[in-house]
A and B are shown apart, each in its own frame.
Chain A
Amino acid sequence: MFKALLAVLLVSSVFSFTFAEEKSASQDANIANKLAHQVSDFVELKAKSDYEKKLKSIQGLLSAHKRITELNSDLDKELRLQEKVKPVLDQSKKLAKEHAFKEAKHVLDDAYFAIVNSIKSQRTGQTLVRSLDFATEKEAYEYELGRYENYKMLINMMIDERHAFARDARTKPFFDEEDRYHVQAETLAKKGQYGEATLLIEKASKTLVNLLRDSGVYIPGV
């Protein structure tokens, strides 16, 4: 599209010049020049962003590789790979400094596949159980509070906006129970007792899940 426009403008500027419309020709040439610069800027920006994304990805996967390798029996082989990748990253950074982003990314591609393949060979067939690594009890509480608020918002919408079920005698005991747990949790959290507060807010969430199940919504779990 851009190329076609550029061609039209250039041809137009040449014709204009032939017919002594110098002013118009010069204007067209300026626009063409400007557009050419814009296109080249765009291409460079895209190449830069592709390169940076790849570099970030490799760096992340490389640190994962280091962690995985520590548990691996064939340590030497994996360490050799990490050593091999280092100069490749340096070379790509050097190229990026010279604004050769496309080449820099190309250099990274081989390193990327080497790391990914190594992770693949070390991890294949594994099933890993993962839980979140909360820095503090407060962080764990806030995470669970988010889950509770999420359920609460969902139920409110189902009642108030979708009228899927109502606040009636059936749902009241659930609301009373979850409210009690929630108030207790908030009180403990204010005192800084986040561990106990987390257990209570989990109970509040669980009550809301039970309310949803009692209302006919299937939610896996027990």
Chain B
Amino acid sequence: MFKMLMVGCLMLPMFSFATELTSLKEDGIHDVNGGGFSMLQEPKEAMGDFPRRTDGTVDWVKALDQKLISPRSNKVGDGKMTSVNLELVLTNTGSMDHVLFSHKVHTQILTCANCHIDIFLPKQGANFISMNNIMAGEQCGVCHGAVAFAVQDCSQCHNVPSKKGSLR
């Protein structure tokens, strides 16, 4: 699985990820023989008309803009969503461009507690993010590659030109 992700990461033109919304029968998560299975809504029914990114995955930011989704801060929906307009430029990117992380985009869909502190510490220089971890489903990979766009297109995240021009 890890190997597949690794290859998928940089070989989009040759090998792309599955872009169709997988049916519940085939997703390997749901128990087809379970009593309540027939009551579950198929992803295609719920998200079939959602805007897509160029790789075919759902574009959650556009879906939010088009008011197709209305994120809740908790299951019951009695909490408040708090969007934080703070941007971080992450510079330990080797010879690649730096990463721009937008809190605004993420907190329109998630609450702070979704990431802090289980996934990322809210502390400067303390989160040793690596592509290895991301592709193994940790750190950003908890969502990206699972429910949000995968790491196929480097420039989605590595989009701030490095001032040094090359090395760290």
Answer whether A222 and B84 are a contact pair too, CB < 8 Å, given A130-B124, A143-B92, A206-B94: no
Q: Interface residue tally of chain B, by bracket? A: 35 or more
**Cβ contact within 8 Å between B96 and A203:** no
Taken residue by residue from 107 to 128, chain B's Cβ proximity to chain A (1 for < 8 Å, 0 otherwise) reads as: 0000011001110011111111
Interface residues of B in 72-115 (CB under 8 A from A): 79-80, 82-97, 103, 112-113
**Cβ contact within 8 Å between A221 and B95:** yes
**Cβ contact within 8 Å between A220 and B97:** yes
**Cβ contact within 8 Å between A126 and B95:** no
Q: Is B28 an interface residue (CB 8 A)?
A: no
**Cβ contact within 8 Å between B125 and A130:** yes
In the complex formed, the residue of B with least CB distance to A117 is B82
**Cβ contact within 8 Å between A164 and B87:** no
Q: Is A133 an interface residue (CB 8 A)?
A: yes
Residues of B within 8 A of A116 (CB): 82, 84, 112
Q: Is A109 an interface residue (CB 8 A)?
A: yes
**Cβ contact within 8 Å between A209 and B112:** no
In the complex formed, the residue of B with least CB distance to A198 is B168
Closest CB in chain A relative to B32 CB, distance in Å: 16
Interface residues of B in 116-162 (CB under 8 A from A): 116-118, 121-128, 130-132, 154-155, 158-159, 161-162
List residues of chain A with CB under 8 Å of any chain B CB.
1, 53-54, 56-57, 59-61, 63-64, 67, 109, 112-113, 116-117, 119-120, 123-133, 143-144, 146-147, 149-150, 153-154, 157-158, 161-162, 164, 199, 202-203, 205-206, 209, 212, 217-222
